[in-house]
Amino acid sequence: MKILEAQSAVLTNVEVYTFLSDQEKQYEKENRKGPANLETLRKEVLQYFETPPGPLSQKPLPYDSAAIPVLFKRLRPYQISKGEFIMMFNIRPTSIPVLNTVIEDMEERFSEEKQQEILSIITEVLGQFPEEEENGQGDEAA
């Protein structure tokens, strides 16, 4: 394998998750295995992504990589930086305090109303966490 252009793009977690899942399915279909370190890395990364409360732990996934341009277009009027956008997509904030960790100088840049609008857009495009996971009651029912 040859690297043509180092760090030419930044990938979101869902793009990495999709790639690794597809690669795993392809390897199974072809009845082949990759190098042991690749198999271990793939397994551990997929396990990390699927561990609650991560945004990719929901089954089925509430969004896919097609949501990236939709979210980007909807957030464009707010002048969100590329880094902030990637973090929003990866973390999927559901509250103002979490959003504050993603957006630099949020309180100076956005009024409380604008902050709530940004959260609403994220929820509309990427979906909401189920109530039981949000409250930490998912394991209590068992």
What's the rounded Cα separation, in Å, for the pair 20 and 80?
28
Residue 87, both tokens: 């973090």
Query: Rounded to two decimals, what is the model's pTM?
Result: 0.75
Q: How far is Cα 130 from Cα 62, in angstroms, rounded to an integer?
A: 11
pLDDT at residue number 135: 47
Residue 1: the pLDDT is 52
Residue 107 to residue 118: CA distance in whole angstroms: 13
| Pair 118, 93: CB distance under 8 Å | no
**What string of pLDDT tens digits covers the 142 residues of the chain?**
565 666 677 888 999 999 999 988 988 888 888 888 888 999 999 999 998 888 888 888 888 888 899 999 999 999 999 999 999 999 999 899 999 999 999 999 999 999 999 999 999 998 887 765 444 444 444 3
Distance of alpha carbon 103 from alpha carbon 109, whole angstroms: 9
Residue 3: its pLDDT value, please? 57
